[in-house]
């Protein structure tokens, strides 16, 4: 029973779709960012501020290696996780990767009143980051799912794809 890993930009729905999918498939659910925060006893922002991005990315990679040894999990990755080849290689050892491809317009709608995402405060920089990361998500994914759909529709698309054994 391979893990199902969800990747995509912030606001793509990785966590909410992941929880729905876990219920539908009777899998366990892991949000990588929450897991890191619990293990470190601090928020992602605090980790960045205290230790820097390189330290956080190492923690993230350690989580990817742990996930590779698990079975029966739905994993919501952080927005940057699958943009690093070492993480993709670790994750793919025991997982199918689904890219929740939400359009930038839909992401903007979803994050309109969310002030907890510092990388999204400057819309010009956020759009550039979105475009850079999308290329990486497409390379990492075994399957691309329309992320503009509702949570339930997106989860059902993934289930349908799993049942058909589909790919990109």
From CA 23, how far away is CA 73, in angstroms rounded? 11
Of the candidates 67, 69, 72, 75, the residue with the CA atom closest to the CA atom of residue 19: 75
pLDDT at 85: 96
pLDDT at 125: 84
DSSP codes, 120-132: GSSHHHHHHHHHH
From CA 52, how far away is CA 121, in angstroms rounded? 19
pTM strictly above 0.75: yes
Q: What is the pLDDT tens value at each position of the chain, 168 positions in all? A: 789 999 999 889 999 999 999 999 999 999 999 999 999 999 888 898 899 889 999 999 999 999 999 999 999 999 999 999 999 999 998 899 999 999 999 988 887 766 656 556 677 888 999 999 999 999 999 999 999 999 999 999 999 999 887 655
pLDDT at 109: 85
Q: What is the CATH number of the domain that holds 125?
A: 3.40.50.300
Phi, psi of 99 (to 5 degrees): -95, 120
Edge to edge, the sheet with strand 73-76 lists 28-31, 73-76, 3-7, 95-101, 143-146
Q: Which domain holds residue 114?
A: 3-164
> Taking the CB of residue 101, how many other CB atoms lie within 10 A of it?
18
Domains held by the chain: number: 1
Phi, psi of 145 (to 5 degrees): -120, 140
pLDDT at 115: 60
From CA 45, how far away is CA 118, in angstroms rounded? 9
């Amino acid at each position: 029973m391979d893990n199902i890993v969800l990747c995509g930009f912030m606001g793509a729905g990785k966590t909410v779709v992941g929880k729905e999918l876990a219920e539908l498939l009777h899998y366990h659910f892991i949000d990588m960012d929450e897991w890191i925060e619990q293990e470190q006893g601090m928020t992602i922002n605090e980790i960045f501020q205290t230790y820097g991005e390189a330290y956080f990315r190492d923690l993230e990679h350690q989580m990817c290696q742990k996930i590779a040894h698990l079975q029966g999990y739905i994993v919501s990755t952080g927005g940057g996780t699958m943009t690093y080849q070492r993480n993709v290689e670790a994750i793919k050892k025991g997982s199918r990767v689904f890219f929740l491809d939400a359009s930038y317009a839909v992401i903007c709608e979803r994050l309109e009143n969310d002030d907890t995402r510092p990388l999204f405060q400057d819309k010009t920089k956020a759009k550039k980051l979105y475009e850079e990361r999308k290329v990486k998500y497409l390379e990492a994914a075994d399957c691309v799912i329309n992320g503009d759909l509702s949570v339930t529709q997106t989860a059902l698309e993934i289930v349908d794809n799993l049942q058909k054994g589909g790919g990109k």
